């Protein structure tokens, strides 16, 4: 579809605002109860829903649980089964690390390990960014090279960090299994190569894990590392060229900034903490006249779901609802509210459940949905869509697509 959209796209003055409430989809704690969205008091989203069209989105396919990278790629119109990128590259690019041909970037989690290397906490209690930087400093002192391969360690945020392996002249493969079992009560996995070019990378990863645990042995909580999301340098069709848009990203977490940068969006400076959304609103307001597409990312609706905190996820949804009038005051011609995946507090993880979608423009049809919730979205006129349908729908509602054919 990208080539077709590229041929049909036309420049107009209309503006599109895509709000991604990360992991917003949820589940009731008890059968037939309310989800986090339905529990939340959201008068502003309710009012918007009554002027909008609603539906549901599957980011990859039925029953498939998407990671954040595939989920976002799908929303941006890139088939996540064709355009594959590991989380390592997204995080690396998001914090400004330049990757060269043959380099491999890996996304890491700091973890708490108990006796027998059993994982007690996959996120090491979500340490502060300051503690993260302190631990990264220890790792840099202990591990700068393994078997002649240069090793670079970078802070991302909280429990997240990035490792880049550089082996000039001999490209490293990225087809390596995860060290992170994505479960507690079990030890970390051993990295294994899935092809010959990745054998060296697997050895480097296992060597890093061993040295890191030795370097962090004195730490009471941050004493282990888990890896997933290996990747080399990815390439995508340019977002602005495909859609004919001047596109801007407003996000705080490096991974999302990295993904936006890789597809060609301008990543705007955001002041303040992620939880304080005022900095993002200010960035949007200041840039409003310079762009005609905005990707506005809200993270904590996902983090609270991963923590299994139903009521805190409800609170984060309500905080977004309180600032929604400031976004609407800019009078976007098209506004969409969607998630990149579901993260039910009940599961403490991403899930396969469709996410609710809302699109408001002057060209929508009458819709039965009255609230932005999963149940109401099932009533909506947009039906069940693939994530890759979203950008064409937004372009059409913004009158940015020409007729196809004679």
- pLDDT class of 232 with cuts at 50, 70, 90: confident
Going by pLDDT thresholds of 50, 70 and 90, the confidence category of residue 4 is very high
Taking residues 74-88, what's their average pLDDT? 90
Q: Is the pLDDT of residue 86 over 80?
A: no
User: Average pLDDT for residues 199-206, to the nearest whole number?
Assistant: 96
* Whether pLDDT at 401 is above 90: yes
- pLDDT tens digits for range 300-309: 999 999 999 9
Cβ neighbour number for residue 142 with a 10 Å cutoff: 15
| Cβ atoms of residues 279 and 272 within 8 Å | yes
Residue for token pair 């502060």: 128
**Average pLDDT score over residue span 212-219:** 95
Three-state secondary structure string covering 16-30? EEEEEECCEECCCCC
Name the residue among 262, 234, 99 with its Cα closest to residue 168.
99
> How much is the average pLDDT of 131-150?
95
| Integer angstrom CA distances of residue 149 from 146, 175, 329 | 5, 18, 53
Q: How do residues 158-178 score in pLDDT, each as one tens digit? A: 899 999 999 987 889 999 999
Q: How far apart are CA 242 and CA 245, in angstroms?
A: 8
Query: What tokens does 51 get?
Result: 């002027």
Minimum mean pLDDT among 238-242, 270-274, 387-391: which range? 270-274
Per-residue model confidence (pLDDT) at position 275: 64
Cα diameter, the chain:
71
Q: Indicate the DSSP class of residue 116.
A: G
Alpha-carbon distance values, 305 to 7, 27, 288, 315 (Å): 40, 10, 31, 11
- Whether 274 shows a pLDDT value over 70: the answer reads no
The pTM (predicted TM-score) of the whole model is 0.79
pLDDT band, very low/low/confident/very high, at 138 (cuts 50, 70, 90): very high
220 DSSP assignment: S
352-383: pLDDT as tens digits: 999 999 999 999 999 999 999 999 999 999 99
The confidence band for 258, taking pLDDT boundaries of 50, 70 and 90, is: confident
Domains annotated on the chain, with CATH: 2-84+236-397 (3.40.720.10), 90-231 (3.30.70)
Confidence at residue 334, expressed as pLDDT on a 0 to 100 scale = 98
Q: For a pLDDT cut of 90, what percent of the chain falls above it?
A: 84
Phi, psi of 248 (to 5 degrees): -130, 145
375 with 38: CB under 8 angstroms?
A: yes
Order of strands across the sheet with 16-21? 266-267, 247-250, 293-298, 16-21, 334-338, 355-360, 53-58, 383-386
Judged against a pLDDT cut of 90, whether residue 108 lies above it is answered with yes
Residues 336, 390: Cα–Cα separation, whole Å? 9
pLDDT at 236 over 90: no
253 vs 239, which has greater pLDDT? 239
Res. 406: pLDDT tops 90:
no
Q: What percent of the chain has pLDDT over 70?
A: 99
Pull the structure tokens for residue 280.
Answer: 């993002």
Where on the phi/psi map is residue 348: left (φ > 0), alpha (ψ -120 to 50), or beta? Answer: left
Stretch 91-95: mean pLDDT: 83
């Amino acid at each position: 579809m990208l080539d077709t959209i590229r041929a049909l796209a036309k420049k107009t003055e209309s503006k599109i605002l895509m709000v991604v409430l990360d992991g917003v989809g949820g589940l009731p704690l008890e059968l037939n109860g309310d989800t986090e969205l339905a529990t939340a008091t959201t008068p502003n989203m309710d009012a918007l829903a009554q002027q909008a069209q609603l539906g549901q989105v599957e980011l990859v396919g039925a029953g498939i649980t998407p990671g954040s990278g595939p989920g976002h790629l799908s929303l941006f119109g890139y088939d996540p089964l064709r355009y594959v990128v590991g989380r390592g590259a997204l995080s690396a690019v998001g914090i400004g690390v330049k990757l060269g041909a043959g380099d491999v970037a890996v996304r890491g989690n700091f973890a708490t390990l108990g006796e027998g290397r059993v994982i007690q906490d996959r996120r090491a209690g979500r340490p502060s960014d300051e503690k993260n930087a302190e631990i990264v400093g220890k790792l840099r002192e202990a591990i700068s090279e393994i078997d002649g391969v240069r090793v670079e360690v970078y802070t991302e945020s909280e429990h997240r960090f990035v490792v880049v392996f550089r082996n000039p002249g001999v490209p490293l493969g990225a087809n390596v299994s995860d060290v992170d079992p994505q479960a507690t009560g079990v030890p970390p996995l051993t990295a294994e190569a899935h092809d010959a070019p990745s054998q060296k990378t697997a050895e480097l990863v296992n060597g890093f894990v061993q040295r890191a645990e030795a370097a962090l042995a004195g730490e009471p909580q941050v004493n282990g590392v888990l890896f997933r999301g290996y990747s080399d340098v990815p390439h995508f069709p340019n977002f602005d060229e495909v859609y004919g848009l001047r596109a801007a990203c407003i996000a705080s977490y490096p991974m999302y900034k990295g993904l936006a940068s890789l597809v060609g969006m301008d990543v705007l400076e955001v002041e303040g903490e992620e939880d304080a959304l005022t900095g993002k609103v200010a960035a949007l307001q200041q840039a409003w006249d310079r762009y005609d597409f905005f990707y506005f990312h809200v993270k904590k609706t996902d983090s609270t779901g991963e923590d299994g905190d139903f009521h805190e996820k409800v609170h984060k949804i309500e905080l977004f609802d309180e600032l929604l009038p400031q976004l609407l005051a800019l009078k976007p011609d098209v506004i969409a509210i969607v998630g990149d995946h579901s993260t039910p507090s009940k599961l403490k993880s991403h899930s396969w459940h469709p996410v609710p979608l809302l699109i408001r423009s002057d060209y929508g049809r009458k819709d039965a949905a009255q609230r932005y919730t999963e149940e109401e979205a099932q009533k909506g006129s947009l039906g069940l869509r693939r994530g890759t349908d979203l950008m064409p729908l937004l372009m059409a509602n913004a009158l940015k697509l020409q007729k196809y054919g004679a």
